[in-house]
Amino acid sequence: MRRKLLLEKAHVPGIRTYEVYRKEGGYRSVEKALKSMSPDEVVEEVKKSGLRGRGGAGFPTGMKWSFLAKPEGVPRYLVCNADESEPGTFKDRYLMEFIPHLLIEGMITSSYALGANTSYIYIRGEYAWITDILEQAIEEAKHNGWLGNNILGTGYSLDLYVQRGAGAYICGEETALLESLEGKRGNPRIKPPFPAVKGLWDCPTVVNNVETIAAVVPIVNDGGEEYAKIGVGRSTGTKLISACGNINKPGVYEIDMTISVEEFIYSDEYCGGIPNGKRLKACIPGGSSVPILPANLLLKTAKGETRIMNYESLSDGGFATGSMMGSGGFIVLDEDQCVVKHTYTLARFYRHESCGQCSPCREGTGWMEKILLRLDRGQGKMEDIDLLWDIQRKIEGNTICPLGDAAAWPVAAAIRHFRDEFEWHVLHPEEAQKRNYGLAHYADPIHVPVA
């Protein structure tokens, strides 16, 4: 077993309650930060840790924090993005459901570092029961003097609120989240200005993912340098991966970003291989919006190096032969899965979740969905594949927020790597309704897993 930082105590009975959490060493980071460190020192530790945003983009958290504008007399806000709606991603849910106090501890420490006296947790509307868990945890923390006025007698005050969304994927985009938090329609704002300058109620705001904020706890406890020792290169610390799809043991795993993709899929410690003796066809390594990879490119990079579960290695080769770490939603597809149908499912999701504000995304996502449905049903034409490619190209990069890119990338990657399967659907429409295309050469050279 490798070292765990976030989920180490997740299975201690009763860890959801304050008493057990405190007994297991909880809230140490708050004591340490508030009593012995200045806010800037906390930011410095986070910078040293090399922690990168766990929400998907992987932007260095310390740097994001140091960009926060600090004008005199204007309140600053910390907002925790718990609107985890990416298909395939469910790590934050696990964290909040089982160790809610870890998030609250991280929120207090981070708010102190940023000088925020009011902080929010914006939670996905569908996570209704987690809202209750968090609110109860906040109550307990307040009761024990970790929230409210003059925390630990240091003069620092913090109010923490949980706000439920109304069930929109788009509200996971930080500016749409802020709009929604302000009580408006969840449309992304046009950047610049960035939230660090003009965010919630036009005040400087930092928006961080649940896991990022939770990771601040071990960073403050052990020191940023200690945290940076885990992992490799610029991928420091541990990362929660939510694995699902055709694997024996779906679930949330904490990895230290040094293990290979192959080990992650096949070892018993993690996913435990693919059920029913099936072979690996493809995988989406970081949540539905990152490019899909066929098995041969997943296990090894185009240069023939072993692919490691970290930011750099997964994106090795760019979008041509690589993918992204994303939010850590690891979706595995075995040889029985149809890539066309799968791509259609994703396109349908993005059409449904587009906010409808800017034209390429509003119109393009629906168009792609219709074409993919036609292809999947065996009514497609050869030109449709090129048309799809052209549509995704015209959406990508031309929209206000990254949802347009997120809708375009899976389609682009599916066509890039699995074009023959799309063509097979066109050429053999009847057969395509009865059986799957199978593995073709995607797993070549056929590889015997080590574990």
Name the residues that contact other proteins, by CB under 8 A: 168, 170, 185, 190, 351-360, 362-367, 370, 387, 393-395, 397-400
Nearest approach, Cβ of residue 360 and other proteins (Å):
5
Instruction: Give the nearest distance from C-beta 401 to other proteins in angstroms.
Output: 11
Q: Which is nearer to other proteins, 143 or 394 (CB)?
A: 394
Tell me how far apart the alpha carbons of residues 194 and 50 are, in angstroms, rounded to a whole number: 22
Q: How far is the CB of 410 from other proteins (least distance, A)?
A: 17
Cα-based distances in Å from 124 to 167, 176, 182, 225, 243: 6, 13, 15, 33, 20
- Shortest distance, CB of residue 168 to other proteins, whole angstroms? 7
What's the N-to-C CA distance of the chain in angstroms?
Answer: 15
Q: How far is the CB of 397 from other proteins (least distance, A)?
A: 5
**Host H or E run for residue 360:** helix 359-376
3-state secondary structure of 145: coil
161 or 201, CB closer to other proteins? 201
User: 300 phi and psi, to 5 degrees?
Assistant: -130, 145
148-151 β-sheet, strand order? 148-151, 156-164, 118-123, 77-82, 205-209
Comparing CB distances to other proteins, the nearer of 113 and 346 is: 346
Q: What angle (nearest 5°) sits at the alpha carbon of residue 298, between those of residues 297 and 301?
A: 55
Give buried/exposed letters for 122-135 (b at 16+ CB in 10 A, else e): bbbbebeebbebbe
What are the strands, taking DSSP E only, across 250-327?
A: 251-255, 280-284, 293-294
CB of 194 to other proteins, least distance (A): 13
15 or 407: whose CB is closer to other proteins?
407
Distance CA 215, CA 46 (A): 9
Question: Does residue 296 contact residue 283 with C-beta atoms inside 8 Å?
Answer: no
- 47 vs 362, which CB is nearer to other proteins? 362
**Beta carbon of residue 428, minimum distance to other proteins (angstroms, whole number):** 22
Measured from the CB atom, is 237 or 364 closer to other proteins? 364
User: Which residue, 139 or 202, is less far from other proteins as judged by CB?
Assistant: 202
